[in-house]
Amino acid sequence: MEDYGKGVARWCPGCGGHSILTTVQRVCKDMQYEPEKTVVVSGIGCSGRFPHYMGTYGFHGLHGRAFPVASGVKFRRPDLNVFVVTGDGDCCSIGAAHWVHAIRYNMKMVALLFDNGIYGLTKKQTSPTSPLGTHSNTHPRGSVLPPINPIQTTLGLANVSFVAQTVDWNSAHLYATVRKAAEHPGLAFVRIVQRCPAFMRDLYGDIAVNPKNLILLSHENGINLKPKARKAFGRVIEHDPSNIHKAREHAEINNGIPIGLLYQNTDNARYDEYGAHNLGMGVEEKKQNLESLLDQYSTSNSV
């Protein structure tokens, strides 16, 4: 366990990546994940550096391709703890097709979307989540298209089983969210609203300074904070994470940032279970296994 935290992160001072790294390392330690049984897969962008700093196995791959690599790892080695680290450009632009199918495959892994609303590594180009009017090197007069809402998009995908949102600057909520995601039996998609002081200083500056702009989604089955920590929030909304229709409504809130567990369903079909059952089986056994899994999943509430 001591191996976690050996790398020295080379992100800008004040970057939200630092707190996310510390949090994921804490969760891995607390869940007693062995570093040699843990794999972190990333694409390209500032977030892509993440595997270098974890002290686990890692794969820093091609732009937008973190999901298929991680899916391959999990399919063949279901015993490993798998994390996907991806940015808003990596996931929501060039990697969008893989994002859609990874959600549908629902293999047990934690997917962390570092969303800072900009391409930071290449020094400020408009990303798919940049707010309308963002001034960047590609749109010096302001971006002209409405952004993708990654939470809303994920909630609309087939077989979605876990969607949560948190922010890099609230360490208690960030930890509770990553922990809940790691415990989920399926693909846990977490959008982390991330500060980029180098290129998007104004985007979340006010919100980060004034926690009253954060809206806490709370429920006994959700991500809960101690009573003292809850006082910091401007609003607390009771939200049952089994209600996907309400989750979609909350995902649209735009007069603050709603954070918490928006949706969870632990009964969805998982492609890694199918793969794990098949390993080492003969043809007849595989056929019977498929039939039993189809029976098992036929009662689940896939969306």
Residue 216: CB minimum distance to ligand SF4, A: 25
How near is the Cβ of 160 to ligand SF4 at its closest, in Å?
Answer: 27
Three-state DSSP at 68 gives helix
- C-alpha–C-alpha distance, residues 129 and 137, integer Å: 15
Binding segment for ligand SF4 (CB under 6 A), chosen from 12-20, 33-41, 104-112, 230-238, is 12-20
Site for ligand SF4 (CB under 6 A): which residue of 4, 15, 107, 134?
15
Is 11 an interacting residue with respect to ligand SF4 (CB under 6 A)? Answer: yes
Stretch that binds ligand SF4, among 9-17, 93-101, 249-257, 289-297 (CB under 6 A): 9-17
Site string for ligand SF4, 98-117 (x = CB under 6 A): ------------------x-
Nearest to 164 by CA among 219, 123, 209, 204: 219
Q: Pick from 212, 221, 174: which is nearest to 193 by CA?
A: 174
Contact residue for ligand SF4 among 50, 169, 199, 263 (CB under 6 A): 199
Closest CA relative to residue 192, chosen from 155, 215, 224, 166 = 166
CB 10 to ligand SF4: min, Å: 8
In whole angstroms, the minimum distance from the beta carbon of 259 to ligand SF4 comes to 20
H helices, E strands: number in the chain = 12, 9
User: Which of these, 86, 248, 240, lies nearest to 156 by C-alpha position?
Assistant: 248
Span near ligand SF4 by CB under 6 A; candidates 10-18, 66-74, 132-140, 154-162: 10-18
What is the CB-side half-sphere exposure of residue 229 using CA atoms within 13 A?
13
120 binds ligand SF4, rule: CB under 6 A: yes
Of 94, 96, 172, 198, the residue at the interface with ligand SF4 (CB under 6 A) is 198
Report, in Å, the least distance between residue 14 CB and ligand SF4: 7
What is the C-alpha separation between 50 and 45, in angstroms, rounded? 10
Site for ligand SF4 in 34-53 (CB under 6 A): 46
- The one among 112, 187, 192, 196 contacting ligand SF4 by CB under 6 A: 196
Whole-angstrom distance, CA of residue 42 vs CA of residue 5? 17
Is the torsion defined by CA of 128, 130, 134, 140 positive or negative?
A: negative
Q: Which backbone phi and psi does 118 adopt, to 5 degrees?
A: -165, 155
User: Which residues make up the interface to ligand SF4 (CB under 6 A)?
Assistant: 11-12, 15, 17, 46, 116, 120-121, 196-199
